[in-house]
Amino acid sequence: MKRQFIYACLLVFISNAAAITYDYMDQMCGQTIDLSFYDSVRLQLTSGSTYRPNMDCYIKVKTDYSSRIMLYFKSFGVESTCTNDWLEVRDGQYSSSSYVSGLNGHQCGYYMSSTVRKTSGNYLYLRFVSDNSLQSTGFDMILTSYHTGICYSYEYSCSNGRCIDETLTCNGYNPCGDYSDCSIVLATGSIAGIVVGCIFFVIVISIVMVVVCRRRRLAYVGAPIQPVHAPVNVITTSTGSGGYNQPVPQQYPQPYVQQQMPPPYAPGGQYPQQY
């Protein structure tokens, strides 16, 4: 059962891998990410190996009025001195909004808990500041839109009572917040994803088999014809002082000698004698 569960999750992950969108904060300064269109976003501070010096960048994240935003960090790497480089995570759309619970004040350092946190409204405000002395890798976080109550037909009902878009299930990013998005009891859309994944897998295997068989057949047809009889090595021997080469036994094939067939046997007295 566990193996079947893993296979199902892998297949659904293949079919739904494009459900999450990638964005980079340093390329969107002053802009707004609307989760009403994307449902889930993987937000990284920068696409480079380190973030830029002298940054002062903010963005807003919003979703539907009746929905909320949950977030967690996959990785975090910001200079340890919070007066130089830091990140603010505010529960609202303004720089004066209160901080998201559990993320009070400036966030810095090289570790951040992967605890899933959430907003109380439909807005999130992020601001990042850096000086010109030392830069690091930045952060990598997951933002997902959800709501509570009755889930719609196109949504998945998480074990914690949250409703997320069905395309986010089994995507490897914990969209429910409690890892219940890849349960054994799959929703209709997930089953469809499994079917599509299976069909894709069968097609790929079929193509590979056809290519392999074709190559083997071509290799067989183009192979050189092997002789029926293996060549006989000639060994020379000397026959005295005059010396000349003598063939060794079985150097040449034996001549064909037609066998004499005995006359048919006839019991005495069966045929008259010839005179």
Q: In what order do the strands lie in the sheet with 56-62?
A: 32-34, 56-62, 123-129, 86-90
Q: What is the average per-residue pLDDT within 23-30?
A: 97
**List of domains in the chain:** 18-181 (2.60.120.290)
pLDDT (tens digit, 9 = 90+) per residue, 244-264? 555 555 555 555 555 555 555
Compute φ and ψ for 12, nearest 5 degrees: -65, -35
Question: Cβ(154)–Cβ(90) under 8 Å?
Answer: no
**Res. 173: pLDDT tops 90:** yes
Q: Is the dihedral of CA 248, 250, 253, 256 positive or negative?
A: positive
**Res. 104: pLDDT tops 70:** yes
- Residues with Cβ < 8 Å from 116, sequence gap 6 or more? 70, 71, 72, 174, 177, 178
Of 9, 10, 4, nearest in space to 181 by CA: 9
> How far is 18 from 110, CA to CA, in rounded Å?
29
**Res. 191: pLDDT tops 60:** no
pLDDT at 249: 56
pLDDT at 186: 47
Q: What is the average per-residue pLDDT within 67-92?
A: 96
In the three-class reduction of DSSP (H, G, I as helix; E, B as strand; rest coil), residue 152 is classed as coil
pLDDT at 185: 47
Least confident of 10-19, 84-93, 157-166, 193-202: 10-19
Q: What is the average per-residue pLDDT within 175-204?
A: 68
Instruction: Annotate 196-218 with b (16+ C-beta within 10 A) or e (fewer).
Output: ebeeeeeeeeeeeeeeeeeeeee
Question: Which of residues 10 and 219 earns the better pLDDT score?
Answer: 219
**Res. 102: pLDDT tops 90:** yes
Write the DSSP string, 158-195.
Answer: -TTSEEEEGGGTTSSS-TTSSS-TT-SS--HHHHHHHH
Mean of the per-residue pLDDT values of the chain? 80
pLDDT at 15: 44
**Res. 26: pLDDT tops 60:** yes
